[in-house]
Structure 1
Amino acid sequence: MRYELFSIGPITIYGYGFMIALGVLAALLTASYRAKKAGLSTDLIFNLTILCVLGGFLGAKILYIITEWKSLMETKSLLDDLKNGFVVYGGIIAGILTAVIYCRHKKVSALEYIDLAIPSVAIAQGLGRVGCFMSGCCYGRPTDAWYGVVFTDSPFAPLNVKLIPTQLFSSIGDLLIAAILILAARKKPNKGVITSGYLLLYGVGRFLIEILRNDPRGNVGALSTSQFISIFMVAAGIVMMYLSCKGRFMSSKAEKEDEAKESEDK
């Protein structure tokens, strides 16, 4: 675990930030490669990645402020907390909304591009969770199990205490989700199937991993904020999967025009 990787003069490279950057790069390369094979625009994928990263970070920060507003107002290190705090679900929601808005602006099928990009999102999340492990945030409950880890240099995790490595469990889960979705995409399912699969798999996985986590988080009753959101995410995934399998999602404007033209030719 390395909270700080190295320094170049006054610039310090942190493990978390490095892994986030690596995750974004891996997501971009993977999505671009798959877009080229699928005959989709790699330029649009590049622009979509940049915009969704920006929108995702903003959404993750906003949701963090909403869920931790009370503690943020009470703490003496308000600026530090605002700098470090993010809630992944806020990033997912904002990232998807950003993709929909951009694709509508470009008059292409938002769902087609989201289906292609969503496995790459899971890859980025998987690498990002390694960054969580390196910094010690998002840590798990104390344990005596063989897989427990001890943090000795972290500003977030309790030091010299054996903890469940929930960050690594999340990373493995995210990468597994990415692999499942990429394999499923090869069968060319209906639009929305891959995206709904992500909502289902990530929602269930996140709900379960929250049980093992022990870091300070917001809550809604007996549930953590992320567990509460997971319920709606899974419900949305179920509905979307049903509609996708029925082929009820609309085509893009360009596709509709092509279909109309084909009908006239016939």
Structure 2
Amino acid sequence: MKPFSSIGFTIFDIPGYIFFVILGLIITIGTFVILLSCKKYPLKENLISLLISLVSMIIFAKLFGCLSGVYRDIGLGEKLSWDSVINTGIVFYGGLIGVIISYLICAKKTHQEKHILDIVAVCIPLFHSITRIGCFFGGCCFGIESNLGIYYTTTVLGEVVTSYRIPIQLIEAAFNFCLFLYLLFLYSRDDWLQKNILRRYLLIYSIGRFIIEFWRGDIVRGVVFGVSFSQVISIIIWIYLLSTYIISKTKTTVKKELNV
């Protein structure tokens, strides 16, 4: 059987990963505009906020990539070096955090309610699902070797390797697309403001990502004591969501008691 080779794979002479990033941006921005229009949110202000958030996404994704380099060297027991930190890829969680923080700041500056972030949350897994397909064609974020996988050629630590691997990129793409459809359903409801769409997204994705990481085969992302860098971030997100939920419930209880 001839293996699928991600080495030098192009679509219309464009590198596979770049092609799907561009496609993802076009589809996601178009979807974002439609969702804004459905709820009568201002278009100009939010497109500017989105542009700023995309820049922030790139910066934070690379910053977290550097942090993953440190985490990787710790896991491998190697001495930290400037090259090992800088010569790393990007991390989705970093881009996600960058988008949320920057868009929250922009929302406050434009005097928009926090629910605008729920619309952003609907669009994120759509973009992520498309770019994960790009990861498959680009040869990054690949899965572990398995007889249940597909015959796949990619670069592992600088060497071209061909083996049967679980197509974890496509599995995560499917997971993200299903998550997008679920969040879109919540958004379409009349009571969408009460559905905490952003929090639901963070919870469901972090759980899914934590599980998916067990089938990732690219050690460049960093693993310490069997726990990957992204799994650590998933755990931090759980702690954040739980703590803010408890605080919110406590405040609600106190208010009720004071009104009695």
After superposition, the CA RMSD in angstroms is 2.9
Deviation at 1:49, TM superposition (A): 2.2
Q: 1:236 to 1:186 in 2, by over 3 A?
A: farther
Q: What is the deviation of 1:60? A: 0.7
Structure 2 counterpart of 1:155:
155
Question: Using the alignment, how far apart are the partners of 1:244 and 1:186 within structure 2?
Answer: 26
Q: Which residue of 2 aligns with 1:169?
A: 171
Query: RCO higher in 1 or 2 (8 Å CA, sep ≥ 6)?
Result: 2
Report how far residue 91 of structure 1 moved.
0.6
Instruction: Tell me the secondary structure at the aligned position of residue 161 of structure 2.
Output: coil
| Higher share in strand | 2
Alpha-carbon spacing, 1:6–1:127, altered in 2? closer, same or farther (3 Å): closer
SS at match of 1:229: helix
Counterparts of 2:82 and 2:161 in 1: how far apart (Å)? 21
Q: 1:218 aligns with which of 208, 219, 222?
A: 222
CA contact (8 A) 1:210 1:227 kept: yes
Name 1:184's counterpart in structure 2. 186
Q: Distance in 2 between matches of 1:115 and 1:164?
A: 33
Q: 1:206 aligns with which of 204, 209, 233?
A: 209
Equivalence map 1:1-266=2 (5 Å)? 2=6, 3-5=8-10, 13-69=14-70, 70=73, 81-82=87-88, 85-109=89-113, 111-145=114-148, 148-152=149-153, 154-156=154-156, 159-187=161-189, 188-190=191-193, 193-216=196-219, 217-238=221-242
SS at 1:160 equivalent: strand
Structure 1: where are the runs of 5+ without partners?
A: 249-266
CA distance in 1 between counterparts of 2:39 and 2:147 reads 48
Question: Normalising by the residue count of structure 1, what TM-score does the alignment of the two structures yield?
Answer: 0.79
Q: How far off its partner does 1:242 sit?
A: 7.2
CA distance in structure 1 between the aligned counterparts of 2:28 and 2:249, rounded to whole angstroms = 26
The alignment's TM-score, normalised by the length of structure 2, stands at 0.81
Q: Distance in 2 between matches of 1:220 and 1:207?
A: 14
Question: For the structure 1 residues 18 and 101, does the alpha-carbon distance in structure 2 shift closer, same or farther, using more than 3 Å as the test?
Answer: same
Output the CA distance in 2 between the equivalents of 1:13 and 1:181: 31
Q: Which amino acid aligns with 2:94?
A: G
Number of positions where the alignment pairs a residue of Structure 1 with one of Structure 2: 237
Task: Give the residue type in structure 1 aligned to 2:26.
Answer: L
Q: Is there any run of 5+ residues in structure 2 with no aligned partner, and where?
A: 253-260
Paired amino acid for 1:180: Y
Give the 3 Å change call, closer, same or farther, for CA 244–224 of structure 1 in structure 2.
same
Structure 1 residues 4 and 186, CA, compared in 2 at 3 Å: closer, same or farther?
Answer: same
